[in-house]
Amino acid sequence: MNKYITLFALATLANIECKAQPNVAVPRLVVGITVDQLNSDDMEQFAALYGNGGFKKLLREGVVYENAQYDFAPINLASATTAIATGASPVDNGITAERWVSRETLRPVGCTFDKKFFVSPNNVKSSTIGDEMKMASNGNALVFSVAANQDAAVLQGGHAADGVFWIDEATKNWKTSAFYPRSAQTWLDTYLRMPGLDVAKKSPNQATCQFALDCISDHVMGRDAHADLLFVTLSASNSTAESNPLLARENTYRELDKNLSDLIQNIEQKVGKENVLFVLTATGRSESNIQNYAKYNVPTGTFYINRTANLLNMYLNAIYGINRLVDGVLNNEIYLNKTILEQKRINISEVLRHAREFLVQISGVKEVYTADQLLLDNGVSSKVRNAFNHAVSGDIIVKVAPGWKIYNEETREEYLPATASLPFPIIIYGAGVKPNTISTPVTTNRIAPTIARFIRIRAPNACVVPPLPLK
């Protein structure tokens, strides 16, 4: 009974806040722009370089939420884009990272991998805002997602999208999946035969924006009574190493501003300024290389995850007389062999307790979280709990000290945990929205219910937060 009372209360509060919003026009087209690794400090630092149609236009004419954040940590591209589309954190939507260890094969598997279609959104365990738009319109709403990155495109597109497209790493050309309607592949085949396309000669952002505009035009988006949705994922990262990092960031933001300006201007011309709603935000993460802390006597080090897993195996073997209780490792997560534990009738909570007692003693380890801790909410931070999903996450999560990196000796991959919060905004512009600046901290999971409020439909089914206030 308490569960239903709580859900009713949340729904009531969300409805009250929704009704309190100013009346604005119902947009015919919603454009969600997610910029990977965008941050407010760089946006401000390079402001003098911008034209009038990109960042300046959004900041001047939109509602700007200065202090946006995610309600979970750590953050990656997959979990961030999924949270935006679903209005929920990984604990509910199922997407914790780009990869996790498959319990069937004991090998890393991509978050969008599908046995039947190779690529699909089937690992997303809740509805997205695009799914809700399709259901509310009896399938008449058009939903597309475009990104250079496969995972970002698929995860934001949702389950019911009319088309999802990304740039294939092998061919350097646009690609889709057989999961989506046949019409998506048919249109793409026609599109790829266009003369002078040559995606490889353009920057990923430039190619993505042009593809997005062509998608709108060819599918006549935003032209009828049913609101349509287009997700566009861009990047503020530097794809190549530069001798002058500051100049590289400057060029990145100058080009990004130009891409945004062209995208916004062309969409407004196609659909009408009053008919389109833009929602821009960031992934809240950075892939910047770790600084040379040792040179300046700042505490640092390398945590060797495979070596640690082998030592843990030896430790648990000494206790239980069973070898290979550790199945695998990935990034900062350790997976136990649950099959053996079940066969030997060994209490997994007891094993996890022993594992934690061992791991916290290792140099560089700040904290160790176990699955039962995270499931039972034993004093663990809500951000850490929200990032955990029992179906795909490891049984043991290792948090290293600030300045430390995690190194996988088998794959030679480095994992650089976030050491600080990356400031970024949420900006809502268009469809009659009046300019405003809001400094109160807000979370990105409120974007999906905000879009839902604008187009008068329900929020995604795992979303329990209210829309963003417009004033």
* Domains of the chain, residue spans: 2-286+422-454, 301-415
The mean pLDDT of 64-93, rounded to a whole number, is 96
Percent of the chain clearing pLDDT 90 (strictly above) = 79
The mean pLDDT of 321-327, rounded to a whole number, is 92
Average pLDDT score, the chain: 91
pLDDT at 29: 98
- Say whether pLDDT at 314 is over 50: yes
Q: pLDDT tens digits, residue range 217-269? A: 999 999 998 999 999 999 998 755 566 888 889 999 999 999 999 999 999 99
pLDDT at 416: 78
Name the residue type at position 406.
I
Do 2-286+422-454 and 301-415 fold alike per CATH? no
Round to whole Å and give the CA distance between 222 and 152: 23
- Say whether pLDDT at 2 is over 50: no
More confident position, 332 or 420: 332
Question: Any idea which fold 2-286+422-454 has?
Answer: Alkaline Phosphatase, subunit A (3.40.720)
Round to whole Å and give the CA distance between 366 and 388: 18
pLDDT at 242: 60
280 pLDDT band, cuts 50/70/90, is: very high
Phi, psi of 70 (to 5 degrees): -100, 150
pLDDT at 418: 62
Q: What is the CATH number of domain 301-415?
A: 3.30.1360.150
Strand-pair category, 333-336 with 396-400: antiparallel
Round to whole Å and give the CA distance between 175 and 169: 10
Structure tokens belonging to residue 293: 């802390």
The mean pLDDT of 50-74, rounded to a whole number, is 96
The mean pLDDT of 341-350, rounded to a whole number, is 94
pLDDT at 71: 95
pLDDT at 289: 55
Measured on CA atoms in the order 53, 148, 388, 40, is the torsion positive or negative? negative
pLDDT at 196: 80
- Say whether pLDDT at 197 is over 90: no
The mean pLDDT of 109-119, rounded to a whole number, is 97
Among 67-76, 180-189, 232-241, 305-314, the least confident range: 232-241
- Say whether pLDDT at 168 is over 80: yes
